[in-house]
Amino acid sequence: MRLKDKVALITGGASGIGLATVKKFIAEGAKVAIADINVEQAQQVVDQLEPGSAVAVGVDVSKLAEVEAAVQSAVDAFGKLDVIFNNAGIAGGKPLLDQDPAVDYEPMIRVDQDGVYYGILAAGRQFKKQGTGGVIISTSSIYGEQAAELSFSYSAAKAAVISFTRSAAYELAEYGVRAVAITPGRVATPIINQFSDELKATFASEQLRNKMTAPEEIANVVAFLASDEANVINGTVVHVDDGYSVFKQRLD
Ligand code: NAD
């Protein structure tokens, strides 16, 4: 119960990594506001959880007013906010020279980059108001630290998440706030499951132990990072990629 009495807001909590983290946080004693653009799916998740442990909140993270309202909903439901997990995101991309900025750049930046900025801003203001400190965890990606095929906009947004994390740790330290970014590699969630079996096998082979990561494995790390046991991890990136970023190529 390492998150006993903590209140968390988890964006993108209706699916994938966010959903696994919702379940892990509740198992560790937290109360959770599940904030997702797909509010019906978020509500279905709430209906399957222990009554009183979670609420569903509709939010489009690309809109500051909606993110501020989501933070307020968590506070209204559970009395305070201790943790925000800025995790909602979209993926995809085209070769650079085929891109239409209005389709291939701006929406990605609005959700994957602005959405995290708004989460940090809204939660940071709440933490300052409470005077309690707080933890900000944000989902970047292995692509936030490298160039990759078809990921011009996605990589830019995910690199910004790492930069935001460093700056937030610096700016919000005086309020007792910590900030950490995680960089998942290949995680078996709906974002990835839409691809062909062949591509999924390639993805698995890019991780050192030749297997995709389960969302629950990421959730375990996020729960640790949110807990007081991780109190010294601040302003940095935690790689949760099963070695993807360490080695360029497997030798076999
Ligand atoms: P997912 O599609 O299962 O979950 C994403 C969730 O975000 C969905 O519930 C979706 O409804 C929600 N969402 C999308 N746009 C939103 C918006 N504008 N406002 C609010 N909610 C919105 O995918 P996932 O794999 O669990 O992805 C979670 C995060 O992990 C994303 O930021 C993704 O970029 C990142 N990531 C995933 C992988 C992977 O291999 N799956 C790897 C690296 C990083």
Phi (first) and psi of residue 161, to 5 degrees: -60, -40
Phi (first) and psi of residue 212, to 5 degrees: -70, 155
Give the C-alpha separation, 193 to 205, whole Å: 15
Please state at what angle helix 215-226 crosses helix 16-27, rounded to 10 degrees. 50
Looking at this protein, which amino acid is placed at residue 186?
Answer: R
Residue 181 CA: distances (Å) to CA of 42, 106, 191, 222: 24, 22, 19, 10
Residue 160 CA: distances (Å) to CA of 58, 132, 138, 153: 25, 27, 11, 11
Q: Which is the closest atom of ligand 1 to the Cα of 110?
A: 18
Write the CB contacts of 137 (distance below 8 Å, at least 6 apart in sequence). 83, 84, 85, 86, 87, 179, 180, 181, 182, 222, 225, 226
Tell me the two tokens of residue 30: 């937290």
- The per-residue pLDDT of the chain, averaged, comes to 96
Distance 131 CA to ligand 1 centre (A): 30
Where are the domains positioned within the chain?
Answer: 7-240
Does the pTM exceed 0.90? yes
* Mutate which of 9, 10, 17 for ligand 1 pocket (most atoms within 8 A of beta carbon): 17
Radius of gyration of the chain (CA): 17
As for ligand 1, residues whose beta carbon falls within 6 Å of it are: 11-12, 14-18, 36-38, 59-62, 87-91, 111, 139, 141, 184, 186-187, 189-192
What's the complex ipTM?
Answer: 0.99
Q: Which is the closest atom of ligand 1 to the Cα of 143?
A: 43
Q: CB-based burial of residue 220 (10 Å sphere; 0-12 exposed, 13-18 middle, 19+ buried)?
A: middle
Residue 195 is predicted with a pLDDT of 86
Tens digit of each residue's pLDDT (9 = 90 or more) over 132-159: 999 999 999 999 999 988 999 999 999 9
Contact 176, 218 (CB under 8 A): no
Give the C-alpha separation, 192 to 194, whole Å: 5
Element spanning 238, H or E: strand 236-240
Give the C-alpha separation, 252 to 240, whole Å: 23
Looking at this protein, which amino acid is placed at residue 231?
Answer: N
Tens digit of each residue's pLDDT (9 = 90 or more) over 149-206: 899 999 999 999 999 999 999 999 999 999 999 999 999 999 888 889 999 999 999 8
Percent of the chain exceeding pLDDT 70 equals 98
Active site members = 154
Contact 80, 58 (CB under 8 A): no
Residue 103 is predicted with a pLDDT of 97
Tell me which CATH code domain 7-240 carries: 3.40.50.720
